[in-house]
Amino acid sequence: MKISLRGIFYLKCVIHLSAVVTFICFAYLVDQDLLGADPVKEMIHFLGKTSLNFLLLTLLVTPVIKRFKQPLLIRVRRLLGLYSFAWVCLHLLIFIYLELNWEFLLFFDEVVKRPYLSLGAIAWIILFLLSITSINAIKRKMKRSWLTLHRFVYWAVLFATIHYYWSVKSGLIEPSIYLFLCVCLLAERKQYFLSLFKGR
């Protein structure tokens, strides 16, 4: 049974609701001081993981469409991607504000010095470009180059997952699970990566 347009509408409502509920939970944890001994680090990780969750869901859409013959699901992919970008912007904002006290020169210095921050910055740039070009008018003007650019989301999810893995100093089980999920989703795009190697 294929999902109808009404079903897509309800699914989008669920996505919006999940984002709102997640933000309310985050605000509650912050307000009630329930983020442990290092609340700033927990805030940064919470927002980063939420962004990564939405990003992984974005990549999950295409395999689900192919496996279960649900072409209308393509309509939720952009929404998931935009939410991923919104969460990663909050992640970056909290890092610069609470961790670095708006010291932008220090931020750029840290990005250059620390590989995990470098990967995170590259992932943010990719998501920024994808978000800007997700506007229909820009998409039409870009034509085939739009698809080429938006395939960079594969690199964004890879860099973001490694960024998370490297940023955790202890308790690597959860980051390892994210890394495993990332590899599984990218394996669905093996033809893309094989074409890159063949091109070289």
The predicted pLDDT at position 130 comes to 96
Show the CA angle centred on residue 183, arms to residues 164 and 11, nearest 5°.
85
**108, two tokens:** 């750029």
pTM, full prediction: 0.94
pLDDT digits (tens, 9 = 90+) for 113-161: 999 999 999 999 999 999 999 988 998 899 889 988 999 999 999 999 9
DSSP single-letter state for residue 99: I
> Across all residues in the chain, what is the average pLDDT?
94
Asked whether residue 75 carries a pLDDT value surpassing 90, the answer given is: yes
* Of 111, 153, 148, residue with least CA distance to 131: 153
**Cβ partners under 8 Å of residue 31, min gap 6:** none
Phi, psi dihedral angles at 169 (to 5 degrees): -90, -20
**pLDDT of 37 higher than 80:** yes
Residue 200: what pLDDT?
A: 60
